[in-house]
Every structure is written in structure tokens, then in C-alpha cells.
Amino acid sequence: MLHHLTTPLTEDKVRQLKVGDEVLLSGRLILSRDVGHKYMKEEKPEWLKPLLKDMVIYHCGPVVHQKSDGSWTFIAAGPTTSIREEPYQADIIEHYQVRAVIGKGGMGNQTSRGLQATGAVYLHATGGAGTLLAECVERVVEVHKLKEFGSPEAFWVIEVKDFPVVVTMDSHGASLHEQVAQSSAKIAEQLMKS
Amino acid sequence: MSDCILPHLTPQQVVEDKSLLPKDWALQFKDSSLAGFHLAVLELIRRTSSRLPQDVIDALVRGRDAETHNSRAFNTLNDMVKNILLADGHVTPLCQDTGTIIFYVKHPTGLSQITMKKHIRQAVVEGTERVWLRPNCVESLSGKNTGNNLDPFADGHPVIHFEEWDRPEIEVGLMLKGGGCENVGAQYRLPDVHLGAGRDISGVRKCIIDAVMKAQGQGCSPGILGVAIGGDRITGYEHSKAILMRTLGTPHHNSELAQIETNLTHDLNTLGIGPMGYGGKTTVLGLFIDELYRHPASFFVSISYMCWSSRRRIMTLDAMGHPHFN
């Protein structure tokens, strides 16, 4: 099923999403990865609350270009591997009432429980499709912690139009990653015997 | 969701027209400063970051066409092809993770590695300024980004492997290897009781299957595997990565290993992990395997995983100093 959604998202809308659904997402996204997640979990900064409530975190360290007038353009902006944020994600989702996380590769049980408790989903974007996904970025709104964290780790706030993602972990405990891992494990077992 | 994209890259002539190198430019080997070498390396960076090798594109297209039309696997591979064409047309990085920057330099006797290293580092700084490379070099503990892809001690990043050879030309290979795929590389020590893997080809096969299983979609499948059997911990890993410079579809010179490469590629594609781990028939695009000599007590199997965006190119400066890009 294909959904067109615009951020901020409501819990009700998010709870309707099921694993396998395709989503074209528009509106604001907040980029964060390793340094940002450690910072959010350990320091729980207040200033991020209004930015993150009912919003979407995107695991991405973009390639950016600053024009002579000081404004920014995204050149390449695909997802980074999400599992590195597993120790932090559930707490962050709960604390900031985040409604969705975009990344690649899927996440583990702890995050899955967090998605169920808060009413949030994990959305999967095509890894490596940096240029293609940057085409969906309409505007760079602002950036936080750029000097301190460096450009791949900074909190970029962007506006996207029809950003293509797939629901691979929903708010009801289902995970496409878990399903594929289990089915492939059975085949691997047979292959190892032959 | 998507139309079937045909994999037509920008014509070679257009790429040549966009070259940073002046027409008829040649490196003067006798000039000890090697003036202009950095510009040739910068041109290599431009092409490597934005233009995927044809053999990788062909393998992705074959994978896509083998998937059920409009399945998630099909659409994902089709998006990958779309991305390849966009990056090539715009001359922008294929992926925002422009990776660890790894050079393989082979050069004739008499050229200074210190001088070549200076040029390569200068090219990396300029490539970062021109946004063909993301700043990907951070201090390990503090996480502080140097901002220009250089480590200040000139021994970590970019990675440069020098080798002197008895030929008149310089060959510069460049590989951009993303962090996601680097993280799913693995090294095994045989025998491995947990896997039931002994010191033979069957044991090696089990290690490879296990590594691909653990990687699932996290290395940006469909990946390309480099496997080194033997060596020590360092040479094994180093070799497993270096052979990722090979061209897909070119058989191994050793017919026994060639057969193993073909069979394992087939078997791994039955796992059903598929592109990005979504499920599907295309889990790996290929596998390269080599055997190294080892210490009698050690039997390592080292596996490097390269993502589908396998960015590798080779520039040759021939005996007259004229550049050729593969």
C-alpha cells in the first residue's frame, strides 16, 4: 500500500502503517547519526524537543555544498546503517516523542519495543542512492552543532518532497529484517550441510 | 513504483570534455617535483566518486531483470540504476559516504613516494572542497572531524599502498569504500568450532556464508566479496580488500578458484537476502577469492564486503606520462 504523508505525523496515522507499506514522505526531517544519538541519549538536550516532537529522524551524513551567499545545498544524502544507533534509539523515540526513524539495514528488538510503546515506525530508504535521494530535498532549513560535530554528524533540518521509503518495522512489533534474517538462516543451514 | 531504466551512462567523449586535465597534458617523469600529478589524481577522484564501473552496472541490471517485475527487489535495483545515471550526469558523488579513500600506486624505479604522497594528499583536499568527497576523517576518541579528509600525521588517511615495479608507467588505483560495508567485513580463524568449519575449502565456504548472513542488508547488498584464504591477520585483510579492484565477470586465472567463485556466488544468491536486505534473488553481485601462503599454525579466512556502489577506477600514466582512465 502506498501512503503520502507529511510531517509532523500523528500517532494515529503512524499506527496504521504496516510492514511492507510504501511511503512518499514530505515536510521536515531532522538528520542525526552516531554523535547526535549519543548526545541525545546522554544529555537529553531540551532545545531539541520542539524540533523532534511528532517528527522524523533521518540517519544520514550528507555531502553538502555551501553557496557564496551562505546557504546550503544537499549533493548526496542517502541513509547510513541504523544498527549503530540501537543502544540509543528507543530512549530517544520515547523521550522526544519521535514518530519515525529513516535509515537502512533495520534495527533490533530494543528499538522495536520502543516503536511499539511510543507509536512510531522504522522507514527504510535505499542505501547508496545518495544523488537520487538528494533530489527530494527541497530546502535546507537550518543546521545545529555543525562546528562541534562536523558536517556528517550535525543536526541538519531539511524539507523534502515525496521522499521514497518502505516501512520495514512497524508499531505492532513486525519487522521485515527479522523475517528475512529467519528465512535466510534456514537456507544457510542447508547450504552449510551440503 | 518505477519504470525500467536503461543503463546508459554519459558518452565517454563528454567525460573527456569535462576533464580537469588540459588537453595533451602529460606528466614529466624527469621533473622531480612531479608537477601536475595532483591534478591527474583529482581527475581520478572525480571519475571514481561519480561514475560506477560498467561491469558493476551490468551486474546490477542483470540482477534487476532477474527479479519479479515491480517487486520491492526489482524497484530497489532500478532505483540504484537511476541513482547511477543521475550521479554520472551531474558529476556528484554516487553515495554520500565517499568512504575510506584507498590508493594503490605502482610506480617505476626512481620516483619519490614522498613527492607522490604530497600530490595525492593535495588532490584529496581539493576533491573534498569540490564536494566529490565527504570529510570522512575523524579523531578516533574525540570524534573531531579534520574537515579535509587528511589525518595530520600522514599515516592513516587517505590510505596509500605504494609498490615499485619494473615497468615504465605509473598506475594509480582508487577505491572509495563506504563505512557500512567496511563494518560487515569479517575475519575467521580455522578451525571454527561454532561453525563446524575445518581447515579446508568446505570450512572456508562456511565462513563466507556466515559473513553474508551476518551482514544481511547492512553492507548495502547486493555486495561484492573479496576473500583471502591464509596470510596473517594483516596481509589477509589487506589482500581481501585489494582484490575488490578486480572486474566482475573476469574469471580467476586458477580454474579451481574460478569454479569456487562461480559456485559460491550462485549459492549465496539462494539465501534470499536480496537488495538492501528486502528479500530477493540478488544478494551478491560477485565474489573474488585468492589463496595466500600462511604460517603452519594459522589459517585465517579474511572477508571484505564491498557495497553495490563499488567505486573503483584505475588511472595509468604511460611511459610518456599521458593519462589513461579505465
pLDDT tens, residue by residue, B87-117: 999 999 999 999 999 999 999 999 999 999 9
Q: Residue B8's pLDDT is what?
A: 85
Q: Is B273 on the interface with A (CB under 8 A)?
A: yes
Q: What is the band of B53 on the pLDDT scale with cuts at 50, 70, 90? A: very high
Q: Residues of B with CB below 8 A from A61's CB?
A: 96-97, 134
CA dist B3 and B265 (Å) reads 28
Quote the strand ranges of B72-209, DSSP E: 100-107, 159-164, 170-177, 186-189
Q: Residues of B with CB below 8 A from A165's CB?
A: none
**Domain identity same for B230 and B155:** no
**Domain identity same for B14 and B127:** yes
Q: Provide, rounded to the nearest whole percent, the portion of chain B with pLDDT above 70.
A: 99
Residue spans of chain A under pLDDT 50:
none
Total of domains in chain B: 2
pLDDT tens, residue by residue, A173-189: 999 999 999 999 999 99
C-alpha separations of A93 from A85, A118, B73, B286 in Å:
12, 7, 29, 38
- Determine the number of helices (DSSP H) and then strands (DSSP E) in chain B: 9, 9
Q: Is A24 on the interface with B (CB under 8 A)?
A: no
Residue B296 lies in a domain: yes
Could you tell me if A134 and A74 are in contact, meaning their C-beta atoms sit under 8 angstroms apart? yes
Longest dimension (CA), chain B: 60
Neighbours of B95 (CB within 10 A): 30
Q: Residue B6's pLDDT is what?
A: 78
Residue B85 lies in a domain: no
**Domain identity same for B191 and B172:** no
Q: Is B271 on the interface with A (CB under 8 A)?
A: yes
Q: Could you give phi then psi for residue A143, rounded to 5 degrees?
A: -140, 140
**Domain identity same for B131 and B231:** no
Mean pLDDT of B197-207: 97
Q: Is B79 on the interface with A (CB under 8 A)?
A: yes
**Domain identity same for B119 and B228:** no
A184 closest CB neighbour out of B83, B220, B273? B273
Residue B63 lies in a domain: no
Neighbours of B8 (CB within 10 A): 9
Q: Is B180 on the interface with A (CB under 8 A)?
A: yes
Separation in Å, CA of B36 to nearest CA in chain A? 26
Q: What is the band of B139 on the pLDDT scale with cuts at 50, 70, 90? A: very high
Q: Residue B154's pLDDT is what?
A: 79
Which amino acid is it at A32?
A: S
Q: Provide, rounded to the nearest whole percent, the portion of chain A with pLDDT above 90.
A: 98
Mean pLDDT of B278-287: 97
**Domain identity same for B240 and B292:** yes
Q: Provide, rounded to the nearest whole percent, the portion of chain B with pLDDT above 90.
A: 93
Longest dimension (CA), chain A: 63
Mean pLDDT of B112-137: 97
Residue to substitute from B3, B51, B97, interface A, most A β-carbons within 10 A: B97
Instruction: Check CB contact under 8 Å for A184 and B213.
Output: yes
Could you tell me if A106 and A124 are in contact, meaning their C-beta atoms sit under 8 angstroms apart? yes
Q: Does residue B266 surpass a pLDDT of 50?
A: yes
Residue B252 lies in a domain: yes
The cell numbers describing B37, all together, are 600529478
Q: Could you give phi then psi for residue B297, rounded to 5 degrees?
A: -85, -20
**Domain identity same for B16 and B151:** yes
* Domain carrying residue B221: 180-306
**Domain identity same for B21 and B164:** yes
Could you tell me if A130 and B95 are in contact, meaning their C-beta atoms sit under 8 angstroms apart? yes
Q: Does residue B306 surpass a pLDDT of 90?
A: yes
Residue to substitute from A131, A158, A179, interface B, most B β-carbons within 10 A: A131
Nearest alpha-carbon partner for A77 in A134, A125, A29, A139: A134
Neighbours of A69 (CB within 10 A): 5
Residue B260 lies in a domain: yes
Residue B5 lies in a domain: no
Site of grid cell 545518495 = A130
Mean pLDDT of B281-298: 98
Q: Residues of A with CB below 8 A from B216's CB?
A: 105-106, 177, 180-181, 184
**Domain identity same for B169 and B192:** no
Mean pLDDT of chain B: 96
Q: Is B98 on the interface with A (CB under 8 A)?
A: yes
**Domain identity same for B173 and B318:** yes
Residue to substitute from A60, A191, A194, interface B, most B β-carbons within 10 A: A191
The cell numbers describing B282, all together, are 540478488
Q: Residue A164's pLDDT is what?
A: 96
Neighbours of A95 (CB within 10 A): 15
- Cβ burial of B220 (10 Å; 0-12, 13-18, 19+) is buried
Residue B194 lies in a domain: yes
User: Helix, strand or coil for residue A117?
Assistant: helix
Q: Residue B1's pLDDT is what?
A: 46
Whole-model pTM over 0.90: yes
Q: Is A47 on the interface with B (CB under 8 A)?
A: no
Separation in Å, CA of A75 to nearest CA in chain B? 7
Instruction: Check CB contact under 8 Å for B96 and A76.
Output: yes
Q: Chain A to chain B, count of Cβ pairs less than 8 Å apart?
A: 168
pLDDT tens, residue by residue, A103-116: 999 999 999 999 99
> CA angle, corner A62, sides to A116 and B102, nearest 5?
115
**Domain identity same for B298 and B158:** no
> Which DSSP string do the residues of A4-67 spell out, in sequence order?
EEESS--HHHHHT--TT-EEEEEEEEEE--HHHHHHHHHH--GGGHHHHTT-EEE----EEEE-
Q: What is the band of B2 on the pLDDT scale with cuts at 50, 70, 90? A: low
Does the N-terminal peptide bond of residue B191 adopt cis geometry, omega within 30 degrees of 0?
yes
**Domain identity same for B27 and B155:** yes
Give the CATH number, domain containing residue B174.
3.30.1330
Residue B317 lies in a domain: yes
